[in-house]
Amino acid sequence: MIPWLDRDAPFPPIEKALVRPNGLLAAGGDLSPERLLDAYRHGIFPWFSEGEPVLWWSPDPRMVLVPSAVRVTRSLAKTLRNREYEVRLDTAFPAVISGCAAPRPDQAGTWITPEMRAAYFRLHALGYAHSVETWIDGALAGGLYGVAVGRVFFGESMFSRARDASKIAFVHLARFLAGRGFELVDCQMHTAHLESLGAREIPRADFARRVAELVDYPEPPGRWQGAFGPSRCRS
């Protein structure tokens, strides 16, 4: 059994999360900015389908990336150098959310419900949630969004409408974060896509310890600015 969170109830210790399903910690509560930011600061994130209560997770192990260790394969480096694209920050947050929420061939539905969209729109307005967008021929071709707290970027979702579009966004995000002193990207759970970019799994206890060390660094919220193209990319 997992606890039900009343409106002001604190999260249980992440060590109480279930083994199966991996990381399910609690249900209930709300998606207010205060609740969401408190969750991220404790290594917890929301994930639930429409019609379900809010479910909170902290899986073990945890997939993470050190921004300076992002991996660029030879083929991806060629794309980064030669393909005509532009990566922009925080210019199309709602469109990125919509792209991430769009149906996918391997999924029956989406966990990015209207309630979730509204919650992250609020975080974006407050300067905590950010989008990284790959534009090709004037159209949004892919991207990702997540939440920045202290020196940790908590990745939420990514999408791609063109080959390597999400990878282009991810690599430029990692380089941008490294330049701003960020030390960790939370990728939540393992995927081959993220592993190919240098992300790796670490024990939940190690992840929680690093998050606790990094989230209280002064990183004032606010809209990110920047645009990057092939000429500025190094393999």
Q: What is the pLDDT of residues 209-224, one digit of tens each?
A: 999 999 988 777 899 9
Residues 78-84, mean pLDDT to the nearest whole number: 92
Same domain, 44 and 86: no
How many DSSP H helices and E strands does the chain contain? 7, 12
The answer to whether the beta carbons of residues 93 and 5 sit under 8 Å apart is: no
Same domain, 44 and 68: no
Which CATH number fits the domain that encloses residue 42? 3.30.70.3550
Q: Where are the alpha helices (DSSP H) in the chain?
A: 33-41, 74-82, 93-101, 114-125, 165-179, 192-196, 204-214
Quote the mean pLDDT of the chain: 93
**pTM greater than 0.75:** yes
Please give the DSSP secondary-structure letter assigned to residue 11.
Answer: P
- The yes-or-no verdict on residue 116 having pLDDT over 80 is yes
Question: Strand pairing partners for 4?
Answer: 27
CB half-sphere exposure, 158, CA atoms < 13 A: 24
Same domain, 89 and 142: yes
State pLDDT tens for residues 161-213: 999 999 999 999 999 999 999 999 999 999 999 999 999 999 999 999 999 99
Same domain, 47 and 91: no
Spell out the residues 6+ positions from residue 32 whose beta carbon is closer than 8 angstroms to its own: 119
Same domain, 175 and 68: yes
Same domain, 142 and 189: yes
pLDDT of 221: 84
**Residue 48 is part of which domain span?**
4-59
Q: How many separate domains does the chain show?
A: 2
Phi, psi of 169 (to 5 degrees): -60, -40
Question: Strand pairing partners for 134?
Answer: 87, 142
The Cα 215–Cα 219 span in angstroms is 9
β-strands 152-160, 139-149 pairing: antiparallel
Sequence-distant contacts of 78-81: CB under 8 A, at least 24 apart: 79/163, 79/164, 79/167, 79/168, 80/168, 80/171, 80/230, 80/233, 80/235, 81/230, 81/233, 81/235
Same domain, 181 and 73: yes
Q: Where are the alpha helices (DSSP H) in 63-215?
A: 74-82, 93-101, 114-125, 165-179, 192-196, 204-214
Same domain, 86 and 51: no
Place of tokens 């990514």: 158
Which CATH number fits the domain that encloses residue 215? 3.40.630.70
Boundary (domain end) residue, out of 23, 44, 59: 59
- The yes-or-no verdict on residue 105 having pLDDT over 70 is no
**Of residues 15 and 1, more confidently modeled:** 15
